[in-house]
C-alpha cells in the first residue's frame, strides 16, 4: 500500500503560485478528503487499526456522512502504538519487508519509542524545505552552504535535514551541506574556512545550541556581520527576545525572513513551520502585549506556524492537537499530546483588522507580500509535562527563559538553565534554577542576586498564582539560583540536548 504526494507537488514554481492564490478553504477541504481516504485505507490494510476499530466498535464506513470524521476515536502511543506489534502497525502487516530509516524519541517523557520513516515523509519535508528556502533565503539565486547542526545519529533532526537538503541539491540548486551535528567547534571551523566561498550560510540548529555557536564563534574571532547568515530552528519554542538577540548578532535585511522555527515530532516528522507572515503577526502581538487576541494565554509565546492540510491534517480538541498524516506507521486522528490549536488565516486576518491592525499594509511595509500563503495556522505551547509544579501551580521554562534574556545578563550567562523543585530540611518546596555561566565568567553573589531579582519580578508579572503565593508566604517562595561553570557536566554537558526541567520524585 502506498500513498503518494498530492498531484502537482513536483513543480515547485506552480505549487508556489497555488499557495499564494488558491483559496484557503480549498486546501483545508482537500486535506480533509485525504484524511478520510487514509482512514478507509488503514481500516482495510493495517491489521492493528482493524483490531482497534473492532475493539472500539467503530464501523469502517463511518465517514460516509459529512461530519462523522470527528467521531473516529483518537489514537496515541498508549492506546494504539504500544498495544500492537510493529508488523501489525504497518501497511499489510509488514515491517521487516520494507526499507526504513528509523528514528527514536528522546525519551524525555518516558521510554523511547522507535518510529520507522518512509520516503514519502522525506518527500513531505523536502517539499516544505524547498519552499521556505526559496521564499526566505532565495536559494534559486544564491550559492548556499547549509550547516546541519542538528543532532545526528538515531534522532530525527540531523539525518532528516540531511536527506531533504540532498534531494533539493539534486534539483540543480547551488547548495552544499556539511554535517557537523552538535559539535560547536566544527560548526565554527566550517564557517571560518568555508563561509566566504558562498553567497550565504544557513545554520540549522536547536535554539540554545545556536546561541552557544554565536557566543563561542565571537570569542573565536568570527565577526558575524561579515557573513550573510540565515537560521532554521527546530525541537522547541523560543521567544521573540531570542530572535532579537540573533538578529543583533548578524544584522540581516529583514527580521521576518532570516530565521524560522519548525513544529515537528519524531512520530510524524516536520508538520509545520514559521513563515514570514506568522513571524510578523507574532512579533506584532508580543510588541503590543496582545497575544490573547489569537492565543489562549496572554504571557506565553507559542510557536506559531503555517501548515499544509494536504500533507498534515490538524484538528484541535480542547486545546489539544490531533493530526492525520501518512507516516512509516500510518496515523489517523493521532493525539500528539501537544497543547495548542488551529486557526484559519481568514480568521486571523479578521481578528487583527477588528483590533486595529491594517495587516495588508503591514505586510507591504515589511516587504513580505511575495511570501504570503493561503494556508491555515497552528500554534503550540511547551508541553505541560515539561514544566515543574511549585506550590500546586505550574512554572514553564518559557517564563524563566524570557526573564534571563536581558542584555546585561547575556554578558554573563549563556541563557541555558535547568529547573528543579526540591525540598528543604523542613519539607518546604524550593524552586532551584541552575544557570550556566558564559566561558571564563566567574560566579559572584551580585550576579546571583541580580538573577534572583529578575526571576522573581518576572514571575510576579506573569503568574497570578506565584504573586498570590508570594503575598501569602513571603520571600521563601523566591527562586534559588545556582551558577555553574560553562559546560559543567552535571547540567550542561556539551553535545546533548538541554534539559530545561528535571523532575524530582521525592
Give the 3-state secondary structure of 295-336.
CCCCCCCCEEEECCCCCCEEEEECCEEEEEECCCCCEEEEEE
pLDDT of residue 64: 58
Segment 64-88 mean pLDDT: 87
Would you call 261 exposed, middle or buried from its count of C-beta atoms within 10 A (0-12, 13-18, 19+)? Answer: buried
Tens digit of each residue's pLDDT (9 = 90 or more) over 26-46: 999 999 999 999 999 999 999
The mean pLDDT value of the chain amounts to 90
72 pLDDT exceeds 90?
yes
Q: pLDDT grade, residue 257 (50/70/90)?
A: very high
Predicted confidence at residue 429, as pLDDT, reads 80
Please compute the mean of the pLDDT values over residues 270-285 and round it to a whole number: 97
User: Length of the chain in residues, anyone?
Assistant: 506
Rounded average pLDDT over 128-136: 96
List the beta strands (DSSP E) in 222-292: 229-233, 259-265, 269-273
Residue 506 reports pLDDT greater than 50: no
The segment with the largest mean pLDDT, out of 145-159, 243-257, 393-407, 411-425, is 243-257
Q: If you search the block for the grid coordinates 540531511, which residue do you land on? A: 162
Which of 248, 259, 301, 221 has its CA nearest to residue 407? 248
- The pLDDT value recorded for residue 109 is 47
In the block, residue with C-alpha cell 518512509 = 118
Lowest-confidence pick of 77-81, 165-169, 187-191, 205-209: 205-209
Residue 286, C-alpha cell as written in the block: 508580543
Q: Is the per-residue pLDDT at 306 higher than 80? A: yes
Contact 443, 483 (CB under 8 A): yes
Using pLDDT thresholds of 50, 70 and 90, give the confidence band for residue 356: very high
C-alpha cell at 424: 528543604
Is the predicted pLDDT of residue 504 greater than 70, yes or no?
no
Residue 165: predicted pLDDT: 95
- How many Cα neighbours within 13 Å face the side chain of 458? 21
* Confidence band of 106 (pLDDT split at 50, 70, 90): low
| Per-residue confidence band for 108, with pLDDT thresholds at 50, 70 and 90 | very low
CB atoms within 10 A of CB 234: 20
For 359-415, how does the pLDDT look when each residue is reduced to its tens digit (9 = 90+)? Answer: 999 999 999 999 999 999 999 987 756 778 787 677 888 889 888 988 778 889 999
The whole-angstrom separation of Cα 317 and Cα 102 is 30
- Residue 317 pairs in a beta bridge with 320
More confident residue, 305 or 264: 305
pLDDT of residue 473: 77
At 139, the pLDDT band (50, 70, 90 cuts) reads very high
Cβ proximity of 221 and 195 under 8 Å? no
Over residues 4-25, mean pLDDT: 91
pLDDT tens profile 176-207: 999 998 888 999 999 999 999 999 999 999 88
Confidence category of residue 282, pLDDT binned at 50, 70, 90: very high
> Which of left, alpha, beta for 215 (phi over 0: left; psi -120 to 50: alpha)?
alpha
Task: Please give the C-alpha separations between residue 431 and each of 78, 482, 502, in angstroms, as whole numbers.
Answer: 31, 11, 11
**Mean pLDDT value of segment 402-431:** 85
Residue 227's SS3 state is coil
Q: How far apart are CA 438 and CA 460, in angstroms?
A: 27
315 bridge partner residues: 322
Is 245 in a helix, a strand, or coil? helix
Q: Which of 94, 4, 9, 2 is nearest to 41 (CA)?
A: 2
Cα dist from 34 to 40, 41, 42, 324, 500, whole Å: 10, 10, 12, 9, 38
Share of the chain above pLDDT 90, in %: 63
CA 402 to chain centre: 17
Q: Alpha-carbon distance 214 to 193, whole Å?
A: 16
Answer for the pair 477, 459: CB distance below 8 angstroms, yes or no: no
Amino acid at each position: 500500500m502506498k500513498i503518494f504526494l498530492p498531484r502537482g507537488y513536483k513543480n515547485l514554481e506552480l505549487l508556489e503560485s497555488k499557495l499564494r492564490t488558491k483559496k484557503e478553504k480549498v486546501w483545508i477541504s482537500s486535506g480533509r478528503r485525504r484524511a478520510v481516504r487514509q482512514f478507509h485505507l488503514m481500516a482495510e490494510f493495517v491489521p492493528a487499526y482493524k483490531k482497534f476499530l473492532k475493539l472500539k466498535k467503530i464501523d469502517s464506513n463511518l465517514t460516509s456522512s459529512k461530519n462523522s470524521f470527528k467521531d473516529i476515536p483518537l489514537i496515541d502511543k498508549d492506546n494504539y502504538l504500544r498495544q500492537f506489534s510493529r508488523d501489525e502497525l504497518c501497511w499489510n502487516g509488514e515491517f521487516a519487508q520494507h526499507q526504513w530509516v528509523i528514528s527514536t524519541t528522546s525519551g524525555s517523557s518516558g521510554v523511547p519509542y522507535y518510529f520507522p520513516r518512509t520516503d514519502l515523509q522525506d518527500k513531505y519535508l523536502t517539499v516544505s524545505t524547498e519552499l521556505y528556502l526559496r521564499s526566505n533565503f532565495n536559494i534559486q539565486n544564491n550559492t548556499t552552504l547549509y550547516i546541519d547542526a542538528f543532532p545526528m545519529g538515531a534522532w530525527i533532526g540531523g539525518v532528516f535535514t540531511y536527506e531533504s537538503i540532498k534531494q533539493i541539491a539534486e534539483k540543480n540548486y547551488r547548495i552544499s551541506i556539511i554535517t557537523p551535528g552538535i559539535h560547536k567547534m566544527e560548526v565554527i571551523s566550517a564557517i571560518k574556512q568555508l563561509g566566504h566561498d558562498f553567497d550565504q550560510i544557513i545554520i540549522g540548529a536547536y535554539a540554545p545550541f545556536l546561541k552557544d555557536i554565536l557566543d563561542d564563534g565571537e570569542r573565536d574571532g568570527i565577526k558575524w556581520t561579515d557573513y550573510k547568515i540565515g537560521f532554521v530552528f527546530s525541537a522547541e519554542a523560543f521567544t521573540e527576545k531570542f530572535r532579537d538577540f540573533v538578529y543583533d548578532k548578524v544584522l540581516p535585511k529583514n527580521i521576518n525572513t532570516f530565521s524560522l522555527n519548525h513544529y515537528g515530532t519524531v512520530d510524524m516528522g516536520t508538520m509545520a513551520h514559521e513563515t514570514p507572515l506568522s513571524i510578523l503577526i507574532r512579533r506584532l502581538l508580543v510588541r503590543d502585549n496582545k497575544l490573547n487576541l489569537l492565543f489562549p494565554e496572554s504571557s506565553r509565546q507559542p510557536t506559531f506556524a503555517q501548515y499544509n492540510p494536504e500533507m498534515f491534517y490538524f484538528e484541535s480538541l480542547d486545546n489539544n492537537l490531533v493530526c492525520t498524516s501518512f507516516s512509516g506507521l500510518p496515523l489517523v486522528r493521532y493525539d500528539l499530546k501537544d497543547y495548542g490549536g488551529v486557526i484559519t488565516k481568514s480568521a486571523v486576518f479578521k481578528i487583527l483588522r477588528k483590533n486595529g491592525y491594517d495587516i495588508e499594509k503591514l505586510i507591504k511595509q515589511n516587504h513580505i507580500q511575495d511570501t504570503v500563503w493561503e494556508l491555515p495556522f497552528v500554534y503550540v505551547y511547551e508541553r505541560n509535562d515539561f514544566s515543574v509544579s511549585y506550590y500546586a501551580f505550574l512554572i514553564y521554562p518559557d517564563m524563566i527563559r524570557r526573564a534571563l534574556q536581558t542584555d546585561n545578563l547575556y554578558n554573563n550567562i549563556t541563557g541555558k538553565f535547568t529547573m528543579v523543585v526540591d525540598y528543604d530540611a523542613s519539607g518546604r518546596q524550593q524552586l532551584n534554577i541552575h544557570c550556566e555561566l558564559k566561558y571564563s565568567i566567574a560566579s559572584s553573589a551580585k550576579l546571583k542576586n541580580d538573577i534572583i531579582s529578575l526571576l522573581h519580578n518576572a514571575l510576579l508579572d506573569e503568574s497570578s498564582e506565584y504573586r498570590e503565593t508570594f503575598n501569602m508566604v513571603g520571600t521563601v517562595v523566591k527562586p534559588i539560583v545556582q551558577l555553574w561553570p560553562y559546560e559543567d557536566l552535571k547540567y550542561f554537558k556539551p553535545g546533548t540536548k538541554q534539559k530545561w526541567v528535571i523532575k524530582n520524585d521525592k
